[in-house]
Amino acid sequence: MIEDFAKGHLHGQLRRTRQALVWKLEGLSEYDVRRPLTATGTNLLGLVKHLATLEAWYFGEVFARPYPEPLGRWQDADGSDLWVTSGETREQIIDFYQRAWGHADATLDELPIDAPGHVPWWPQPDVKLFNIMVHVLLETSRHAGHADILREQLDGRTGVRAEYEEQIDTAAREAYWAKIERAAQEAAGGSHHADLSDAHRAAGTS
């Protein structure tokens, strides 16, 4: 019984986090969903593409259930799944992610939580479905957190689902930000970091 509970709980969390990630694209321009927002090029639509590829691999090849569409080989991974070319549409990437969900969900429905798998790119390649469910959930949650920050930098919107989103109170946010900034300045022993902090704040709210 505990195995069924654990499997159902992990699967439910994965489903909710997938939806939250896709929601982060809602209402943004084609440029904003694609443009690099960190020094290493992290971008919103690229996160979706990356996780689609990840689910297709981990719930496919690992359990001898290959994804039915062509995928890059793990041996040839070159970071191309982390960004989106001009010829790839937002709809194509989201549809790829949703098809990968369907394939993954079929694997999860069919196999028991202790089903054996093999991850050739891991140092200890022999795994159970439980290991992979935890791994994919952690990866999805991690990247959904990245998406939270990227979206907040773009237009200030936060939250995990539309029904829980609160209207932005700019004055309250600025007061809260200022309180945290004051504490940081005091801990640093003065105001000599003010210029850097002000520049960072401006970039985050532009």
pLDDT over 70 at 184, yes or no: yes
> Which residue has tokens 């957190």?
145
Instruction: Quote the crossing angle between the two packed helices 44-58 and 2-23, to the nearest 10°.
Output: 150
Domains (range + CATH), the chain: 2-164 (1.20.120.450), 170-205 (no CATH)
Predicted pLDDT of residue 35: 97
pLDDT at 75: 64
73 φ, ψ (degrees, to nearest 5): -75, 145
Look up the pTM and report it. 0.88
pLDDT tens for each residue of 93-148: 999 999 999 999 999 999 999 999 999 989 999 999 999 999 999 999 999 999 99
The amino acid sitting at 13 is: Q
User: Are the C-beta atoms of 107 and 14 separated by less than 8 Å?
Assistant: no
Burial track 85-115 (b if 16+ CB lie within 10 A, e otherwise): eeeeebeebbebbebbbebbeebbeebebee
The confidence score (pLDDT) of residue 202 equals 45
Question: With contact defined as beta carbons under 8 Å apart, do 47 and 34 qualify?
Answer: no
